Amino acid sequence: MNVLVTGGAGFIGSHIVDALVERNHTVTVIDSLDPAAHDGPPEWMNPNATWRLGPASGEARSADVAEEATWDGALEGIDAVCHQAAKVGLGVDLTDAPAYAINNDLGTARMLAAMSASGWGGRIVLASSMVVYGEGRYACPDHGIVAPLPRRSDDLDADRWEPRCPTCRRELTTGLVPEDAAIDPRNVYAATKAHQEHLCGAASAELGTVTTALRYHNVYGPRMPRDTPYAGVASIFRSQLANGRPPQVFEDGGQRRDFVHVSDVAAANIAALERPVPYAGALNVASGHPFTLLDMARTMAAEDGRGLEPAVVGGYRIGDVRHVTADANLARSVLGFEAQVQPSDGLAAFVHEPLRRPPAR
């Protein structure tokens, strides 16, 4: 296939580009090289892909998916679009909201408008996220599966971390969240990822396209950004260890997440792109082996080998949720996808893997 990868210079996108090239697909990349994430063109650009990059590369043409000019002729000869371009992470505060809406929502809307204008009708694989769920799946001993109440600041300030039943306010037990769970985005980034799914779904009938939305759980691995507010917790712990500091773990460290290696995420994208009949809908992309954040920090600190025991520092971030762990069965049955890297092995290796250099300040 001829595949267009937006955001293909980034952490996940670059691994997808490598995997596509390895499987003899023809790959074109559009990436704006957002200075919040990149300090110029990365060293891992695959020479067998065609690259269209932003001003940091010296190119005059636009490579920002949120700009109409970027899409002029971009879809000619393209069979599938792997839409990875996005602003990620929780950001700093609500002053980041316009940038998230522009990069994620407007960027996707521009893409869909260009598809409509050109009569394009291929397949779309969309990078979505587990953040659309808000909290994960919970059950109350008395009321069964329930949507938990939003965590309250007075509870969090008193170190009462676990979500509570909306009926009886008892603490809930956590389980695996399936794709048919109601979505409940609880921060700006999450809201924009949900909107990307909705935009693609709303446009599919008019365009004659099929969108497979891959809801990535906590992705880690080489080429992650380091030392930015937009980096994931794995990168933050990795950077702290690299600087000779013990990992700083918020709350009590009992937060549960599913950490999935970037090579497995790339494999899920390949499976979605190559499926004979495109799958319309959302799929969890996860390892299927949940970890607590404290266990994750301990695994990484032990591999570091300098005796830097993780420090549970309490505190919390507004917009964080307590537990989100995935039911990975649907991706297995639909795509034949099953993660190959066990988190215990992958996180240990990650301690020694290169991260993306921080952008210039």
What residues are labeled active site?
A: 189
Q: In what order do the strands lie in the sheet with 210-216?
A: 50-53, 26-31, 2-6, 80-83, 123-129, 210-216, 281-285
Q: What is the DSSP string of 279-302?
A: --EEEEE--S--EEHHHHHHHHHH
Cβ atoms 359, 228 nearer than 8 A:
yes
Beta strand 210-216 with 123-129: parallel, antiparallel or unpaired? parallel
Which residues, including other chains, have CB under 8 Å from residue 251's CB and lie 6 or more apart? 156, 159, 161, 293, 312, 314, 315, 316, 322
Q: Whole-angstrom Cα distance, residue 216 to residue 284?
A: 6
Which tokens is 268 given?
A: 């899920």
Cβ atoms 223, 138 nearer than 8 A:
no
